[in-house]
Amino acid sequence: MENKENVALVVGATGITGSNLAEELIAQGWITYGLSRNPNSNISGLRSIKADLLNEQSLMDALNEISPTHIYFTTWMRNDTEEENIRVNSMLVRNLLNVLSPKKSVKHVALVTGLKHYLGPFDAYVKQGILPETPVREEHPRLSLPNFYYAQEDEVYKASERDGFTWSIHRPHTVIGYAVGNLMNMGTTLALYASICKETGRKFIWPGSEAQWNGISDVTDAKVLAKQLVWASTTEAAKNQAFNITNGDVFRWKWLWKRLADWFGIEAEGFNESIKPLEKELENDQPIWKEIAKKYNLKEENLERLSSAWHTDLDLGRPLEVMCDMSGSRKSGFTNYQSTEDSFIELFQRLKAEKIIP
């Protein structure tokens, strides 16, 4: 049953967060538009819009006939410096909200950021000295470091004051879910690594830090994040707030790593004296992956298009344990829960079914 009152615009509908969110909105009967530079045609019921967020004219033309009530901002562009990240990523938000402002249709804007809010930008957050107290809580003050998440938030706050819509900010930990060709996809990256280990007889070696191996952690299933986004944008008690979002369980990698290896039927090796980056481990594996793809008739033979080892290394190489306090949205009524082991296994099963891994 289509819900004519709610018209969603998912910005970044091809990504891991955006595609799972689009599926959730469509399942709930929303009219759902997906905006991206290279539209996604894999989601049944999604109305795709091709536009360049850096170009206001492109946005005006693309959105000419569309008056969304709810905006979900799930995308960003990676640049060489944090200053450039700030300039470009704040512009993405500003341009879109400026173009939609005259329509006066927008009731709520939800922005997805992440734990760099608490840890600092990529080039800073693995350095000691600015590490937050864990579990991280939404009321933690901003760090005194340049951070494009803060710049994006500020654009939402400014437009909200001008146009009168409500907002919500969502801060997931590492997002686990299905999406192909995604910049930050730990689940798929580990699945590829495990598949290569299985084919070559290599050990599944822990790539991260001792603190991450032994410490408590959590992750965010893309489907749980999608449910929180829809909940916050339609629940009075959730308006104009920032929320952490994770599965609701905690784990230690030294327990989970072995479970993941067992699913693939390979031998796991834990932390052993030093960090062993996955980027280095996989850097010569393109020819091997090409052979695996041919042998098992897989959809994608380009390893780089599927894996994002750099991002997995940043997450697993942190010098401290990181987990989120979830009481913010729990107190306001969001009680969704997902087992993290199930998040990984369900993803592996889907990757197998879709012929991404053997």
294 CB burial (10 A radius; 0-12, 13-18, 19+): exposed
Catalytic residue among 107, 116, 198, 227: 116
| Residue type for position 298 | L
C-beta atoms surrounding 161 within 10 Å: 9
23 CB burial (10 A radius; 0-12, 13-18, 19+): buried
Q: Among 356, 348, 351, which Cα is nearest to 300's?
A: 356
Q: Among 29, 6, 5, 9, which Cα is nearest to 18's?
A: 9
Sequence-separated (6 or more) residues with CB below 8 Å from residue 347: 176, 177, 178, 187, 188, 191
Determine whether 125 is an active site residue: no
Evaluate whether 310 touches 207 at the Cβ level (below 8 Å). Answer: no
Q: Among 261, 11, 252, 6, which Cα is nearest to 111's?
A: 11
- Residue 254: helix, strand or coil by DSSP? helix
Determine whether 149 is an active site residue: yes
272 CB burial (10 A radius; 0-12, 13-18, 19+): exposed
Catalytic residue among 149, 198, 223, 227: 149
Instruction: For the chain, state the CA radius of gyration.
Output: 20
335 CB burial (10 A radius; 0-12, 13-18, 19+): exposed
Distance CA 289, CA 303 (A): 6
Catalytic positions, please? 116, 149
